[in-house]
Chains A and B, each alone.
Chain A
């Protein structure tokens, strides 16, 4: 069974640009959540989608947005990039409705110059 796939793995952008990251969950998983990980702030929850609906949201500005498609694949977008957005962005999938665990992808490493 294929794991959680995140693309791209690495990317470099400049301030003011926007970026879109993609996440393909494990087959059959309907929940996809996104996390930002930085050395200073650690792991921070961005948002969670379940069956194409945002079900939960962390405390991030509106520049951070996401969506989920009917096949459960998810994208997150960051507009007007700032230097502080440099981070490892992790996607996790789960079945979504029980006490099951999160399954993480390898992450997308974003560097903003």
Chain B
């Protein structure tokens, strides 16, 4: 069965320092992978997606993620955190089953950015 593990439930960084949010997945096929961000009382917004093209994926707001098949990882990074990055981040895996996609969500990582 497919699964997504976000290794940290909370991450705290200082403004201007790098961000690393970790995600490991298990999948029987070639998955599509996504990172979403959720600000308080808002819906989820797509940050970036991997769909078997380049392994290094660039997203919005300076975020990027690298797909490593050998490590079954899809970690999210940003070189320099901004206060506005404080939010909850979800790693999502999508697999094709019976000709449609099923989505599997990680448990989320709350990012705190200190001034």
Contacts and interface: CB of A to CB of B under 8 A. Distances in A.
Interface of A: 4, 6, 31, 33, 42-43, 45, 50, 55-56, 88, 90, 92, 94, 96-107, 109
Contacts of B102: 56
A31 B36 CA distance: 19
A104 B34 CA distance: 13
B46 interface: yes
A4 to B, nearest CB: 7
B70 interface: no
A36 to B, nearest CB: 12
Interface stretch (B12-20, B37-45, B72-80): B37-45
Chain B's interface size range is 20 to 34
Contacts of A102: 34, 44, 46, 92, 103
Interface string B95-111: 01001111101011000
